[in-house]
């Protein structure tokens, strides 16, 4: 089996999650909207999952709107949070599902402000303050970046946005299950989650939405999710999301200390290699994420070479892997385009081990030597 070091792209479904999902694909297949017993049984399971997801982020179950994943929840927040929106601001390092939703509403006439980040990928209060002078009605800044792992000071940014009359949405897809997340104390109005980044199934997520937000649904029909998101619920996936959220809450400390130990070990060994640049190393990052570049070695080439050696990493965001071009996150941080093109992302998970770190470091050393000796380096 290969060494999997791309947990920010997705995680395997936890065995305990899989086991609670299975009956809802087989014997408990009722439609949760049906009034007879089989339907009520499915409804009960969805509501239990709603409580479990709410608990992970200290929200109220009534604030949870299940969606088909993080992308849909982000789109719902951007398009649905403000009726007749005329102005919006999002950070430059958001996931494509936020950036492209924002660009889509901008094409329909909404004024769009892009909030700059500093060299470390952080949204500073002064950058946000200058975006707020354009009076956006909604601000969206992610808790933690999927590529760099950089964590933003969301409580401060939300406070500042509220002081200027804007609602605040945060994409917490990467943060959930990797750090403490508290919807209430962060003071945000909307928060996006996705199950498959925390050992749950793919294709299910949630938008946590404060009751004061007048959310406009984007999918209409049967009126499920209190009318906020129509469509027959994916019961098994929602049940799995609930269980994964419960486990993530219970096991947060142990998961955090495991991956941060591996990250320190990797970064110490990378430091000894010399040529490696680790992005945003000086600021708070997700404990499992290392975004690095070996100047002179193209990131895509390195990724493919590592894959040949049975090590799976990503170059930037997996969701962007079909797009050609350097990471928009690194460019927003002011990283030179040539260096940005050399980036790869390592993201550890629960089952990663010190042996994986050793395998990766030795493969990286081998790649540096091979590519150098084959004169494939464009520049060193």
Q: What's the closest the beta carbon of residue 275 comes to ligand PLP, in angstroms?
A: 28
Q: Which position among 209, 250, 319, 342 bears the catalytic label?
A: 319
User: Which residues share a beta bridge with 179?
Assistant: 176
Q: CB 204 → ligand PLP: shortest distance, Å?
A: 8
Reply yes or no on whether 209 is catalytic: no
Residue pair 295/315 in contact (Cβ under 8 Å)? The answer is no
CB of residue 244 to ligand PLP, shortest distance in Å: 13
- What does the DSSP assignment read for 295-324? TTS-HHHHHHHHHHTTEE-BSS-GGGTTS-
Nearest residue (beta carbon) to ligand PLP: 70
Nearer to ligand PLP, 74 or 288 (CB): 74
**Cβ closest to ligand PLP, residue 142 vs residue 371:** 142
Spatial distance between the Cα atoms of 159 and 244, rounded to a whole number of angstroms: 30
Q: Which residue, 69 or 177, is less far from ligand PLP as judged by CB? A: 69
- Return the number of the residue (49 or 173) whose C-beta is nearest ligand PLP: 173
- Strand, coil or helix: 293: strand
DSSP 25-84: TTT----TT--SHHHHHHHHHHHHHHHHHHHHTT--GGGEEEESSHHHHHHHHHHHSSTT
Footprint of ligand PLP (CB under 6 A): 69-71, 74, 95, 97, 142, 146, 171, 173-174, 194, 196, 205, 319
Question: Could you tell me the smallest distance in angstroms from the CB atom of residue 69 to ligand PLP?
Answer: 3
Active site (catalytic) residues: 319
């Amino acid at each position: 089996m290969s060494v999997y070091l791309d947990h920010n792209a997705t995680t395997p479904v936890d065995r305990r999650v899989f086991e609670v999902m299975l009956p809802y694909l087989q014997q408990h297949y009722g439609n949760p909207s049906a009034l007879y017993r089989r339907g009520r049984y499915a409804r009960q399971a969805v509501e239990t999952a709603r409580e479990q997801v709410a608990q992970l982020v200290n929200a109220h179950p009534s604030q949870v709107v299940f969606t088909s994943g993080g992308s849909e929840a982000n789109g719902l927040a951007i398009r649905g949070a403000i009726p007749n929106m005329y102005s919006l601001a999002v950070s430059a390092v958001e996931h494509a599902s936020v950036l492209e939703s924002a660009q889509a509403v901008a094409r329909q006439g909404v004024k769009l402000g892009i909030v700059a980040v500093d060299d470390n990928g952080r949204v500073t209060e002064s950058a946000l303050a200058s975006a707020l002078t354009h009076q956006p009605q909604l601000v969206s800044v992610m808790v933690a970046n999927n590529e760099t792992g950089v964590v933003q000071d969301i409580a401060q940014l939300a406070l500042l946005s509220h002081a200027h009359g804007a609602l605040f949405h945060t994409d917490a897809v990467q943060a959930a299950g990797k750090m403490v997340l508290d919807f209430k104390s962060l003071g945000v109005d909307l928060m996006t989650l996705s199950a498959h980044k925390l050992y749950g199934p793919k294709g299910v997520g949630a938008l946590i939405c404060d009751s004061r937000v007048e959310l406009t649904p984007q999918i209409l029909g049967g009126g499920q999710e209190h009318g906020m998101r129509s469509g027959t619920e994916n019961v098994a996936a929602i049940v799995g999301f609930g269980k994964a959220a419960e486990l993530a809450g219970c096991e947060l400390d142990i998961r955090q200390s495991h991956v941060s130990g591996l990250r320190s070990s990797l970064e110490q060994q990378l430091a000894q290699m010399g040529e490696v640049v680790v992005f945003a190393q000086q600021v708070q990052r997700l404990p499992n994420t290392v975004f690095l570049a070996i100047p002179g070695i193209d990131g895509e080439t390195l990724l493919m070479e590592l894959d040949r050696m049975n090590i799976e990493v990503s170059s930037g965001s997996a969701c962007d892997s079909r797009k050609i071009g350097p990471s928009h996150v690194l460019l927003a941080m002011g990283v030179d385009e040539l260096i940005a093109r050399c980036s790869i992302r390592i993201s550890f998970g629960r089952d990663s081990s010190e042996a994986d770190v050793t395998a990766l470091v030795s493969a990286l050393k081998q790649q540096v030597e091979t590519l150098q000796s084959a004169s494939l380096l464009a520049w060193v």
